[in-house]
Structure 1
Amino acid sequence: MVQEDTELIVRQRIRGLRLARNWTLDALASRCHLSPSTLSRIETGRQRLGLEQLVSIAKALGISLDQLVEPEGDEDVVIRPTPESNGGTTFWLLSRERDRRGVTIAKMRITENRADNGPQVHPGYEWFTVLSGTVRLQLGTRSILVYPGQAVEFSTMTPHRLEAQGGPAELLTILDHGGEQAHLPGHRQS
């Protein structure tokens, strides 16, 4: 049963990656030196998966064999964030610690009475989108109002500070390692 499930996932990956690239069966087949009918039978489960074919298909798709055949995994995919508050700011960590992409994703709620530690500066980039309320972004000498649905991305080597404008504001943010250490409770540098 486990092998059948893994084979089904591999077949779905092959077809999904092919379609994501807008490739026909003929296009992928020519790239991996298989006939279109063989590739069709592989995708539909009417032909056994062979190692040589999988190596060729993975290479043609631009991925490693490990990526193509890795098990689906049975880890819990639901993240249950716990709010952490600090001086008028509440964070909900929405990614796992030490995320494999090298970023931290968090929901952030800031209030007008947020503790002001002055502008932050650290290596890297930061990205956020406003979910509700209005955020005033102090970016160097500029003051920028960011409204719901708008997003910003900036170098964090520029002194920056976020403030709620006219009431609480909520945002979704993506921080690199430097941003995580500078902004998230429990991750601050000493």
Structure 2
Amino acid sequence: MTNHIRPLPSYLVQRFHGWRATTYQDNRAWFRRLAESGQHPRAMVISCCDSRVHVTSIFGADEGEFFIHRNIANLVPPYTPDGERHGTSAAVEYAVASLGVAHIVVLGHSNCGGVKGCHDMCSGHAPQLEEKSSFVGRWMDILRPGYEKVAGLPEAELLRALEKQAVLTSLDNLLTFPFVKSAVEDDRLTLHGLWNDTGEGLLEQFDPARGIFVAV
């Protein structure tokens, strides 16, 4: 198996050496302090794998500030301790129970390919995602309830509404985790829902009092 592994592409090697000669050297004491004292992030951010979503750039975050978990369409599954492999659930548990983060931010975004796949699957236009062997399809099953809530909207509005449903679905599912629910009820943890328009550089947050996303 290992004979298929190749050295890192040269452009990435060059970028690493550039980073080490500048950013690291200018902040060497800070990096060593982080390494020795461990991480103490204020917030966990659950965002999409999409390469256009750059969490640390959006918030101007430093190393050690955010505990970031990325997956397809920034989804959190319901609490299901059934012995299966749940990378997202494990990340949430570690962030809340071990790191004691004060905030969990679910960050959705525009033109999300995973959400588009859910739309196509639920509307009968992506039979390949219906296959039991489709990892993406079975993951996007998490968003099926959200799709049902917005399926009646005009096509021009549906995808954006579904992207925001992905955020709301994850927030609802987070509260099915007993340790998340108790932390929220004890005011040790707050949950936040955001949606980023990647093309326009805009950010919206969910306002529970009005039941809509509003510009920050």
- The verdict on a shared fold, with TM-score over 0.5 as the criterion, is no
TM-score interval (norm. to shorter): under 0.3
- Is the radius of gyration larger for structure 1 or structure 2? 1
The TM-score with structure 1 as length reference comes to: 0.26
Scaled by the length of structure 2, what TM-score is found?
0.24
Q: Of Structure 1 and Structure 2, which has the larger fraction of its residues in helix?
A: 2
Larger RCO (CA under 8 A, 6+ residues apart) = 2
